[in-house]
Protein backbone atom coordinates (compact mmCIF):
# COMPACT_ATOMS: atom_id res chain seq x y z
CA UNK A 1 0.00 0.00 0.00
CA UNK A 2 1.51 3.36 -0.99
CA UNK A 3 2.05 6.31 1.32
CA UNK A 4 -0.73 8.78 0.51
CA UNK A 5 0.00 12.50 0.42
CA UNK A 6 -1.59 15.75 -0.67
CA UNK A 7 -0.04 19.10 -1.52
CA UNK A 8 -0.54 22.29 0.49
CA UNK A 9 0.50 25.74 -0.62
CA UNK A 10 3.23 27.31 1.50
CA UNK A 11 2.26 30.77 2.79
CA UNK A 12 5.01 33.21 1.79
CA UNK A 13 6.55 30.35 -0.13
CA UNK A 14 6.71 31.94 -3.57
CA UNK A 15 3.86 29.84 -4.94
CA UNK A 16 5.51 26.55 -3.95
CA UNK A 17 3.83 23.55 -2.34
CA UNK A 18 4.79 21.05 0.36
CA UNK A 19 3.59 17.47 0.81
CA UNK A 20 1.47 16.45 3.80
CA UNK A 21 1.37 12.68 4.36
CA UNK A 22 -1.96 11.03 5.19
CA UNK A 23 -1.28 7.82 7.12
CA UNK A 24 -3.40 5.20 8.82
CA UNK A 25 -2.37 3.93 12.24
CA UNK A 26 -1.76 0.41 13.51
CA UNK A 27 -3.07 -0.32 17.00
CA UNK A 28 -1.03 -2.72 19.13
CA UNK A 29 -3.55 -5.43 18.20
CA UNK A 30 -3.04 -4.78 14.47
CA UNK A 31 0.73 -4.76 14.98
CA UNK A 32 0.69 -8.10 16.81
CA UNK A 33 -1.44 -9.69 14.09
CA UNK A 34 1.02 -8.45 11.46
CA UNK A 35 4.00 -9.86 13.38
CA UNK A 36 2.27 -13.23 13.80
CA UNK A 37 1.88 -13.45 10.05
CA UNK A 38 5.65 -13.08 9.73
CA UNK A 39 6.26 -16.03 12.08
CA UNK A 40 3.20 -18.18 12.77
CA UNK A 41 5.17 -20.56 15.02
CA UNK A 42 5.18 -18.01 17.86
CA UNK A 43 1.81 -17.50 19.65
CA UNK A 44 0.43 -13.96 19.85
CA UNK A 45 0.44 -14.11 23.68
CA UNK A 46 4.19 -14.71 23.59
CA UNK A 47 4.67 -11.48 21.66
CA UNK A 48 2.46 -9.66 24.19
CA UNK A 49 4.61 -10.93 27.05
CA UNK A 50 7.81 -9.95 25.21
CA UNK A 51 6.53 -6.41 24.59
CA UNK A 52 5.48 -6.02 28.23
CA UNK A 53 8.84 -7.30 29.47
CA UNK A 54 10.75 -5.17 26.98
CA UNK A 55 8.88 -2.02 28.01
CA UNK A 56 9.62 -2.68 31.67
CA UNK A 57 13.29 -3.43 30.96
CA UNK A 58 13.75 -0.26 28.86
CA UNK A 59 12.20 1.82 31.63
CA UNK A 60 14.60 0.35 34.22
CA UNK A 61 17.69 0.74 32.03
CA UNK A 62 16.93 4.36 31.13
CA UNK A 63 16.26 5.16 34.79
CA UNK A 64 19.85 4.07 35.51
CA UNK A 65 21.12 6.71 33.06
CA UNK A 66 22.01 4.17 30.37
CA UNK A 67 21.10 4.44 26.68
CA UNK A 68 20.03 1.55 24.45
CA UNK A 69 20.99 1.04 20.81
CA UNK A 70 19.17 -1.53 18.69
CA UNK A 71 21.45 -2.06 15.65
CA UNK A 72 19.98 -0.96 12.30
CA UNK A 73 16.83 0.36 14.05
CA UNK A 74 16.97 3.01 16.79
CA UNK A 75 18.70 4.51 19.82
CA UNK A 76 16.90 5.45 23.05
CA UNK A 77 18.65 7.70 25.56
CA UNK A 78 17.74 9.60 28.74
CA UNK A 79 18.55 13.34 28.64
CA UNK A 80 18.61 16.29 31.03
CA UNK A 81 16.46 19.25 29.96
CA UNK A 82 16.51 22.86 31.04
CA UNK A 83 18.70 25.95 31.09
CA UNK A 84 21.53 26.30 33.62
CA UNK A 85 22.60 29.83 34.49
CA UNK A 86 26.22 28.84 35.23
CA UNK A 87 28.59 25.86 35.22
CA UNK A 88 28.22 25.59 39.00
CA UNK A 89 24.41 25.53 39.07
CA UNK A 90 23.12 22.12 40.30
CA UNK A 91 20.15 20.24 38.90
CA UNK A 92 16.88 21.63 40.22
CA UNK A 93 13.74 19.54 39.67
CA UNK A 94 11.60 22.71 39.71
CA UNK A 95 13.60 24.30 36.91
CA UNK A 96 15.13 21.38 35.02
CA UNK A 97 13.74 18.10 33.81
CA UNK A 98 14.41 14.61 32.49
CA UNK A 99 13.41 13.50 29.00
CA UNK A 100 13.89 10.59 26.64
CA UNK A 101 15.19 10.92 23.08
CA UNK A 102 14.36 8.25 20.52
CA UNK A 103 16.44 8.44 17.33
CA UNK A 104 15.76 6.26 14.29
CA UNK A 105 19.08 5.12 12.85
CA UNK A 106 20.06 6.01 9.25
CA UNK A 107 20.31 2.34 8.18
CA UNK A 108 16.64 1.76 9.03
CA UNK A 109 15.53 4.97 7.28
CA UNK A 110 17.40 3.97 4.12
CA UNK A 111 15.69 0.55 4.07
CA UNK A 112 12.25 2.11 4.44
CA UNK A 113 12.97 4.62 1.67
CA UNK A 114 13.85 1.80 -0.73
CA UNK A 115 10.60 -0.09 -0.07
CA UNK A 116 8.04 2.69 0.19
CA UNK A 117 5.96 4.01 -2.70
CA UNK A 118 3.80 7.13 -2.75
CA UNK A 119 0.41 8.12 -4.15
CA UNK A 120 -0.97 11.63 -4.43
CA UNK A 121 -4.55 12.26 -3.25
CA UNK A 122 -6.82 15.29 -3.17
CA UNK A 123 -6.57 17.56 -0.15
CA UNK A 124 -9.13 16.59 2.53
CA UNK A 125 -11.70 19.28 3.22
CA UNK A 126 -11.76 21.53 6.29
CA UNK A 127 -8.52 20.35 7.85
CA UNK A 128 -6.50 22.73 10.07
CA UNK A 129 -4.61 25.15 7.84
CA UNK A 130 -1.82 27.56 8.83
CA UNK A 131 -1.95 30.94 7.08
CA UNK A 132 0.66 32.92 9.01
CA UNK A 133 3.14 32.66 11.89
CA UNK A 134 4.29 35.65 13.95
CA UNK A 135 6.29 36.09 17.13
CA UNK A 136 4.81 38.81 19.34
CA UNK A 137 7.87 41.03 19.90
CA UNK A 138 9.03 41.87 16.36
CA UNK A 139 5.93 40.57 14.52
CA UNK A 140 8.30 38.66 12.22
CA UNK A 141 7.55 35.32 10.60
CA UNK A 142 9.47 33.39 13.26
CA UNK A 143 9.19 31.09 16.27
CA UNK A 144 10.87 32.61 19.33
CA UNK A 145 11.68 30.93 22.65
CA UNK A 146 11.50 34.13 24.69
CA UNK A 147 8.19 35.57 23.46
CA UNK A 148 4.65 34.48 22.73
CA UNK A 149 4.12 33.00 19.27
CA UNK A 150 0.96 33.41 17.20
CA UNK A 151 -0.35 31.01 14.54
CA UNK A 152 -3.23 32.27 12.38
CA UNK A 153 -5.28 30.11 10.07
CA UNK A 154 -8.53 28.15 9.80
CA UNK A 155 -10.24 25.10 11.35
CA UNK A 156 -7.89 24.89 14.36
CA UNK A 157 -10.69 23.38 16.47
CA UNK A 158 -11.88 19.97 15.31
CA UNK A 159 -14.71 17.91 16.84
CA UNK A 160 -12.95 14.57 16.41
CA UNK A 161 -9.41 15.75 17.09
CA UNK A 162 -7.53 17.02 20.16
CA UNK A 163 -4.69 19.50 19.66
CA UNK A 164 -1.52 17.94 21.11
CA UNK A 165 1.36 20.19 20.02
CA UNK A 166 3.60 21.10 17.11
CA UNK A 167 6.17 19.45 14.86
CA UNK A 168 9.23 21.42 13.75
CA UNK A 169 10.96 20.16 10.61
CA UNK A 170 14.34 21.29 9.33
CA UNK A 171 14.05 23.46 6.24
CA UNK A 172 17.25 21.98 4.80
CA UNK A 173 17.09 18.32 5.91
CA UNK A 174 13.61 16.79 5.99
CA UNK A 175 14.90 13.79 7.95
CA UNK A 176 15.41 16.08 10.95
CA UNK A 177 12.43 17.03 13.08
CA UNK A 178 11.38 17.51 16.69
CA UNK A 179 8.01 17.48 18.43
CA UNK A 180 6.85 20.20 20.80
CA UNK A 181 4.35 18.38 23.00
CA UNK A 182 1.91 20.08 25.37
CA UNK A 183 4.40 19.64 28.22
CA UNK A 184 6.89 21.75 26.21
CA UNK A 185 4.57 24.73 25.62
CA UNK A 186 2.19 27.02 27.48
CA UNK A 187 -1.03 27.29 25.47
CA UNK A 188 -2.31 30.87 25.87
CA UNK A 189 -5.15 30.81 23.35
CA UNK A 190 -6.71 28.19 21.09
CA UNK A 191 -9.60 29.30 18.88
CA UNK A 192 -10.86 28.32 15.43
CA UNK A 193 -8.52 30.75 13.70
CA UNK A 194 -5.72 31.40 16.17
CA UNK A 195 -3.27 29.57 18.41
CA UNK A 196 -1.07 31.57 20.79
CA UNK A 197 1.60 29.82 22.84
CA UNK A 198 5.05 30.21 24.29
CA UNK A 199 7.81 27.65 24.70
CA UNK A 200 8.76 26.57 28.21
CA UNK A 201 12.24 27.47 29.39
CA UNK A 202 13.22 23.86 30.08
CA UNK A 203 12.80 22.86 26.41
CA UNK A 204 16.18 21.99 24.88
CA UNK A 205 16.32 22.17 21.06
CA UNK A 206 18.45 19.66 19.11
CA UNK A 207 21.83 20.72 17.72
CA UNK A 208 20.46 21.42 14.23
CA UNK A 209 17.84 23.86 15.56
CA UNK A 210 20.00 26.98 15.80
CA UNK A 211 19.15 30.69 15.69
CA UNK A 212 18.04 31.73 12.21
CA UNK A 213 17.48 28.16 11.00
CA UNK A 214 14.83 27.79 8.30
CA UNK A 215 12.08 25.45 9.50
CA UNK A 216 8.58 24.20 8.72
CA UNK A 217 5.86 24.11 11.37
CA UNK A 218 3.00 21.61 11.54
CA UNK A 219 0.07 21.17 13.93
CA UNK A 220 -0.39 17.84 15.73
CA UNK A 221 -3.81 16.38 16.59
CA UNK A 222 -4.88 13.16 18.31
CA UNK A 223 -7.99 11.30 17.22
CA UNK A 224 -10.27 9.39 19.60
CA UNK A 225 -8.63 6.11 18.59
CA UNK A 226 -5.34 7.48 19.92
CA UNK A 227 -3.33 7.92 16.73
CA UNK A 228 -1.66 11.22 15.84
CA UNK A 229 -2.14 13.13 12.60
CA UNK A 230 -0.45 16.33 11.43
CA UNK A 231 -2.11 19.19 9.58
CA UNK A 232 -1.09 22.53 8.14
CA UNK A 233 2.41 23.53 7.22
CA UNK A 234 4.17 26.87 7.12
CA UNK A 235 7.68 27.99 6.39
CA UNK A 236 9.28 30.09 9.14
CA UNK A 237 12.54 30.39 11.10
CA UNK A 238 13.73 29.51 14.59
CA UNK A 239 14.85 32.31 16.90
CA UNK A 240 16.41 31.42 20.27
Alpha carbon distance 46, 70 (integer Å): 21
Parallel, antiparallel, or unpaired: how do β-strands 161-170 and 214-223 relate? antiparallel
3-state secondary structure the chain: CCEEEEEEECCCCCCCEEEEEECCCCCHHHHHHHHHHHCCCCCHHHHHHHHHHHHHHHHHHHHCCCCEEECCCEEEEEEEECCCCCCCCCCCCCCCEEEEEEEECHHHHHHHHHHCCEEECCCCCCCCEEEEEEECCCCCCCEECCCCEEEEEECCCCCCEEEEEEEEEECCCCCCEEEEEHHHEEEEEECCCEEEEEECCCCCCCCCCCCCCEEEEEEEEEECCCCEEEEEEEEEEEEC
Query: Binning pLDDT at 50, 70 and 90, where does residue 12 land?
Result: low
How much is the pLDDT for 224? 78
User: pLDDT, tens digit, for every residue of 111-126?
Assistant: 999 999 999 998 777 7
How much is the pLDDT for 27? 80
How much is the pLDDT for 23? 81
Strand order in the sheet with 17-22: 17-22, 3-9, 118-120
Alpha carbon distance 115, 1 (integer Å): 11
Distance between the two ends of the chain, CA-based, in angstroms? 41
CB 28 within 8 Å of CB 52: no
Overall domain count for the chain:
1
How much is the pLDDT for 17? 85
- Per cent of the chain over pLDDT 70 is 99
Give a yes or no: residue 62 inside a domain: no
Alpha carbon distance 28, 226 (integer Å): 11
Number of neighbours of residue 201 by Cβ within 10 angstroms: 13
Give a yes or no: residue 184 inside a domain: yes
User: pLDDT, tens digit, for every residue of 164-174?
Assistant: 999 999 888 77
Query: Binning pLDDT at 50, 70 and 90, where does residue 13 land?
Result: low
Write out the residue range of the structural domain in which residue 165 sits. 125-239
Give a yes or no: residue 178 inside a domain: yes
How much is the pLDDT for 159? 83
How much is the pLDDT for 11? 63
Give a yes or no: residue 129 inside a domain: yes
How much is the pLDDT for 141? 93
Task: Report the greatest alpha carbon distance in the chain.
Answer: 63
Alpha carbon distance 172, 216 (integer Å): 10
Q: What is the CATH number of the domain that holds 158?
A: 2.60.40.10
> Would the pTM count as exceeding 0.85?
no
Give a yes or no: residue 175 inside a domain: yes
User: pLDDT, tens digit, for every residue of 165-220?
Assistant: 999 998 887 778 999 999 999 999 999 999 999 999 888 888 899 888 899 999 99
How much is the pLDDT for 126? 78
Of 179, 194, 199, 190, residue with least CA distance to 129: 194
How much is the pLDDT for 57? 97
Give a yes or no: residue 75 inside a domain: no
Give a yes or no: residue 101 inside a domain: no
pLDDT score of 53 more than 80: yes
Give a yes or no: residue 104 inside a domain: no
Alpha carbon distance 230, 224 (integer Å): 15
How much is the pLDDT for 123? 78
Q: Tell me the average pLDDT of the chain.
A: 89
Amino acid sequence: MPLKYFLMKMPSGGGKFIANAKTNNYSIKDFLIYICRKNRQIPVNTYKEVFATMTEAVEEILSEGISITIPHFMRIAPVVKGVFDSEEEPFNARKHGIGVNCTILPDFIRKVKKKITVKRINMPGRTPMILAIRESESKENAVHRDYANRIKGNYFIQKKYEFTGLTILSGTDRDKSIILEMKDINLIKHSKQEIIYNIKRNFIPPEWLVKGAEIFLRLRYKKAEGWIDEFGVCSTKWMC
